[in-house]
Amino acid sequence: MPRRQLDHALPILDRGQDIPRHEDPALTAFLQRHIDEALSKDPTPPPCHHCGSHQVVLRYRGRPPNGIPYFNCQRCGKGFNRRTGTALRHFLRCDKLEAFLPLLSQQRSIANASERLGVSHMMLARWVRVFRQWLLRLDPSGEWEAKVKLGMRPELPALQCPNCGNRERFFRYGFVDGNRQGKRMFQCKTCRRCISEPDEHFKKRTANRPEE
């Protein structure tokens, strides 16, 4: 599975910092195409979502102005619409989609994004979860799902405290010389010794950083 590329230079909790966040327009466009298909009012029957059969008939067109057609499969007997099996199946806030989609690929906290969208933390966390699941159904390779960064925290690099030998428990602790473009500092939770980001990890991280 592709690895998610997250930047340690971006703050975890977004405490009022005005730091650029980068959208991946390819992910936004990919999802928008599939959303347009799911919300289509075209009455032409698609293949059955449940069994793949083309023996599908239109059951009803849906109530205007926002209703979408509902279909019945004559092979398996099940009903469905184009939302079935998508992240939109129980998504009741389609008015938020335009603002939500660009945030999915941005590395920012759920708290920050939920404030921007005017929805609860719990609701937004659920949206992220169901959209990640949908992306994996659309593309089992995981390439598109790996582009989702909203609410994600970067994994710690391989660290070892030179004082006590701790390898697992560290705080993020600012930057070397206060330079946000430079190396990250980490503080050992056991003995409070500070160490800097390993050279190899820093070079790889900055090589993957989007240009301003």
Note the pLDDT tens digit of each residue in 127-186. 999 999 999 999 999 999 999 999 998 888 899 999 999 999 998 888 888 777 788 899
Q: Are residues 104 and 209 in the same domain?
A: no
Which domain, by its residues, includes 177?
156-212
Q: Are residues 103 and 144 in the same domain?
A: yes
Q: Are residues 169 and 184 in the same domain?
A: yes
Q: Are residues 96 and 189 in the same domain?
A: no
Q: Are residues 92 and 148 in the same domain?
A: yes
Q: Are residues 165 and 190 in the same domain?
A: yes
- Write the CB contacts of 45 (distance below 8 Å, at least 6 apart in sequence): 54, 56, 57, 58, 71
Per-residue pLDDT of 81-133, as tens digits, reads 999 999 999 888 989 999 999 999 999 989 989 999 999 999 999 999 999 99
Measured between alpha carbons, how far is 120 from 184 in angstroms, rounded to an integer? 31
Q: Are residues 120 and 26 in the same domain?
A: yes
Structural domains counted in the chain:
2
Q: Are residues 34 and 95 in the same domain?
A: yes
Q: Are residues 113 and 90 in the same domain?
A: yes
Give the residue from 153, 177, 204 where a domain finishes: 153
For residues 115 and 29, the answer to whether their CB atoms sit within 8 Å is no
Per-residue pLDDT of 57-85, as tens digits, reads 999 987 766 689 999 999 999 999 999 99
Beta strands in the chain (DSSP E): 56-60, 70-73, 79-81, 170-175, 184-188, 194-196
Measured between alpha carbons, how far is 172 from 168 in angstroms, rounded to an integer? 12
Q: With 60 as the cut, is the pLDDT of residue 16 above it?
A: no
Q: Assess if residue 75 is contained within a domain.
A: no
- Collapsing DSSP to helix, strand or coil, 212 comes out as coil
Q: Are residues 31 and 88 in the same domain?
A: yes
Give the residue from 104, 133, 153 where a domain finishes: 153
**Backbone angles phi and psi of 73, in degrees to 5:** -90, 125
Q: Assess if residue 28 is contained within a domain.
A: yes
Q: Are residues 93 and 148 in the same domain?
A: yes
What residue type is assigned to position 136 of the chain? L
Measured between alpha carbons, how far is 135 from 113 in angstroms, rounded to an integer? 20
Q: Assess if residue 58 is contained within a domain.
A: no
Q: Are residues 173 and 129 in the same domain?
A: no
